[in-house]
Amino acid sequence: MRLNEIEVQHYRNYDGLTLDFPKTLNIFLGENAQGKTNLLESIYVLAMTRSHRTSNEKELVHWDSDSARIRGVIEKKTGTVPLEIIISNKGRKTKVNHIEQKRLSSYIGQLNVILFAPEDLSLVKGSPQLRRKFIDMELGQVNPIYLYDLVQYQSVLKQRNQYLKQLAEKKQSDLVYLDILTEQLAEFGGKVLFARLEFIKKLEHWANLLHKKISHEKEELAIDYFSSIPLDKENISLEEIQKQLLQSLLDNRKRELFKANTFLGPHRDDLIFNVNGQNVQTYGSQGQQRTTALSVKLAEIDLMYSETGEYPVLLLDDVMSELDNERQLHLLETIEGKVQTFLTTTSLDHLNNKLTVEPDIFYVHQGEIEREA
């Protein structure tokens, strides 16, 4: 798929701006603090309705304004789709084909994006929370039902933790209500877990192919899902997962009541990356960790294509300067020609002599953008 044009109004440091993108590779060039990341972020928000940088929506709206608007025209195999999102202190309003969408899951998935920023290179080294967010974002885009189940899971989890606190403080004593919440948690948690296990298997397939290539066939990458409950992961059915999750929650009830917290379930899980059988987070060199992060990130392109029949749009924020020459070439090779890419940089030095397609270059300066003639 492609983003053919975008219009942003009162978004971050942009007053108003309309751009069209006939070329596959679009480079946004400018000095620091001019609005390069803001523009990529606006594309990300158009796709995901949320920013990757902040959960505070107020920050997205221009200081002098009450609401921001982003409109885009997406081109897919099935035709063109206008998308629109309005952000204000009243919340977010989303439209597909000019029709307002009440459900997040009927909006997300229209435009698929993959964002790659320098902090993604810490996917391997960073916190488990970062890896969970990674799964949730990527899986949510190709599977909107997952997003729905995840939101339900999080809402039951919150209720359940509140209730556990009330029980601990002896403000409540009814354990039957805890049973009901536990069953609901196992139902949605099981769905979340099931979808994640499937997703990780596919991601591993594509990521390993790339990892092998980047490492000149010297390294194999395996991705394991670390579950906080004991799981027999081979060919397990959804019902079986829900049953096992429920059982684990019941087995740990005493501890949960004592700690007044739910400490088992997908909100506590993690990913483990193994290179040639060794945990790369613990034993890998910095280069191996970067190759792993790059492979996993780029694998999403192939995965999304195999799931949806369309390539996603790729947003590369400042990553070229973070990669060595060889990894830069791999990155460009993966995308060139087939994946529409929006790339920000402060200098063209990392790109010179490496591009095989003619890019459009846009100069970004103080919230204004000019296309190179």
**Which chain residues interact with ligand ATP by CB under 6 A?**
12-13, 30, 32-38, 59, 61-63, 318, 346
Token output for 210: 């790339």
What does the buried/exposed string (b/e) look like for 242-276 if buried means 16 or more CB atoms within 10 Å of the residue's CB?
bebbbebbeebeeebeeeeebebbbbebbbebbbe
- Specify the 3-state DSSP secondary structure of 91: strand
User: Least separation, in Å, of the C-beta of 138 and ligand ATP?
Assistant: 23
CA distances from 245 to 8, 21, 174, 230, 262 (A): 45, 48, 22, 9, 12
Token output for 104: 């997040």
Token output for 80: 């063109």
244 sits near Mg ion (criterion: CB under 5 A): no
**What values do phi and psi take at 341, rounded to 5?**
-130, 140
What does the buried/exposed string (b/e) look like for 49-88 if buried means 16 or more CB atoms within 10 Å of the residue's CB?
bbbbbeeebeebbbeeeebbbbbbbbbeeeeeebbbbbbb
Q: How far apart are CA 135 and CA 205, in angstroms?
A: 15
Q: Which listed option, Mg ion, ligand ATP, none, makes contact with residue 266 (CB within 5 to 8 Å by class)?
A: none
Burial class (CB within 10 angstroms; exposed 0-12, middle 13-18, buried 19+) of 194: buried
Q: Which is nearer to ligand ATP, 16 or 287 (CB)?
A: 16
Instruction: Give the Cβ contact number of residue 323 at 10 Å.
Output: 18
Q: Which is nearer to ligand ATP, 91 or 337 (CB)?
A: 91
User: Least separation, in Å, of the C-beta of 131 and ligand ATP?
Assistant: 24
User: Least separation, in Å, of the C-beta of 319 and Mg ion?
Assistant: 11
37 sits near Mg ion (criterion: CB under 5 A): yes
User: Least separation, in Å, of the C-beta of 325 and ligand ATP?
Assistant: 21
- The stretch among 28-36, 133-141, 235-243, 353-361 that binds Mg ion (CB under 5 A) is 28-36
Q: Which is nearer to Mg ion, 37 or 227 (CB)?
A: 37
Q: Which is nearer to ligand ATP, 30 or 266 (CB)?
A: 30
- The residue nearest Mg ion at its CB is 37
51 sits near Mg ion (criterion: CB under 5 A): no
Q: Which listed option, Mg ion, ligand ATP, none, makes contact with residue 346 (CB within 5 to 8 Å by class)?
A: ligand ATP
Q: How far apart are CA 5 and CA 22, in angstroms?
A: 9
The HSE-up count of residue 319 (CA atoms within 13 Å, CB side) is 27
Instruction: Give the Cβ contact number of residue 168 at 10 Å.
Output: 15
Q: Which is nearer to Mg ion, 12 or 36 (CB)?
A: 36
User: Least separation, in Å, of the C-beta of 27 and Mg ion?
Assistant: 14
User: Least separation, in Å, of the C-beta of 344 and ligand ATP?
Assistant: 6
Q: Which listed option, ligand ATP, Mg ion, none, makes contact with residue 291 (CB within 5 to 8 Å by class)?
A: none
Place of tokens 């095989």: 356
Q: Which listed option, Mg ion, ligand ATP, none, makes contact with residue 33 (CB within 5 to 8 Å by class)?
A: ligand ATP
Q: How far apart are CA 334 and CA 236, in angstroms?
A: 34
Q: Which listed option, Mg ion, ligand ATP, none, makes contact with residue 262 (CB within 5 to 8 Å by class)?
A: none
User: Least separation, in Å, of the C-beta of 255 and Mg ion?
Assistant: 45
Instruction: Yes or no: say if 336 and 25 are a contact pair by the CB < 8 Å rule.
Output: yes
Q: Which is nearer to ligand ATP, 34 or 262 (CB)?
A: 34
Q: Which is nearer to ligand ATP, 296 or 343 (CB)?
A: 343
Nearest residue to 216 via CA among 289, 299, 297, 288: 288
Residues in the chain: 373
Q: Which is nearer to ligand ATP, 54 or 80 (CB)?
A: 54
Q: Which listed option, ligand ATP, Mg ion, none, makes contact with residue 280 (CB within 5 to 8 Å by class)?
A: none
Q: Which listed option, Mg ion, ligand ATP, none, makes contact with residue 59 (CB within 5 to 8 Å by class)?
A: ligand ATP
User: Least separation, in Å, of the C-beta of 45 and ligand ATP?
Assistant: 13
Q: Are strands 341-345 and 25-29 parallel, antiparallel or unpaired?
A: parallel
User: Least separation, in Å, of the C-beta of 75 and ligand ATP?
Assistant: 26
Q: Which listed option, Mg ion, ligand ATP, none, makes contact with residue 327 (CB within 5 to 8 Å by class)?
A: none
Which residues of this protein are in contact with Mg ion, per CB under 5 A? 36-37
